[in-house]
Amino acid sequence: MGGDVSTFGDVYSYGILLLELFTGRRPTEEMFENGLTLHEFSKMAFSDRVMEIADPLLVEENDQDDACNNVESTRGKGQRVVECFASVVRIGIACSMETPRDRMQMKEVVSEMLVIRDKFLRIGIYKEG
């Protein structure tokens, strides 16, 4: 990132924030000292191992909620949770691209986050209040 202030920097910061929140990792952790970044870490696991990078506290809370549900509804809900988590991580990755011009536009980010929120509401994961 350069020294100029712009909305591209805000988008980058938002992307890193999303990745921090959903992976439970900070860009300053020891594992990121040798050239690996939170962005790259998330990108490497994105396609087929996305839940392996999920914050264990998020996964644990979802598992506890599932314990109260029957097995059939839990399977479908679990897949939708993975899809929603992957969608948020994808946005985090897209926002934190190295080159500012490669980053998502904030208008698109908001639109996609609203879609994801609606998925959480539909499957009862998001709890207001």
3 state SS for 42-101:
HHHHHHHHHHHHCCHHHHHHHHHHHHCCCHHHHHHHHHHHHHHHHHHHHHHHHHCCCCHH
Domain-located, residue 129 = no
Q: What is the largest CA-CA distance in the chain?
A: 53
- Residue 89: inside a domain, yes or no? yes
Q: For residue 1, is it within any domain?
A: no
22 neighbors 51 (Cβ within 8 angstroms): no
Count the domains in the chain.
Answer: 1
Is there a domain that residue 74 lies in?
yes
Residue 67 lies in a domain: yes
**At residue 34, what is the residue type?**
N
93 falls within a domain: yes
Q: What is the CATH number of the domain that holds 24?
A: 1.10.510.10
Place of tokens 């994961």: 125
Residue 2 lies in a domain: no
The model's pLDDT over 27-81, given as tens digits with 9 standing for 90+, comes to: 989 998 888 999 999 999 887 888 889 888 877 765 555 544 444 444 566 787 8
Residue 85 covered by a domain: yes
pTM higher than 0.85: no
> Containing domain of residue 17, as a range?
7-123
pLDDT of residue 34: 87
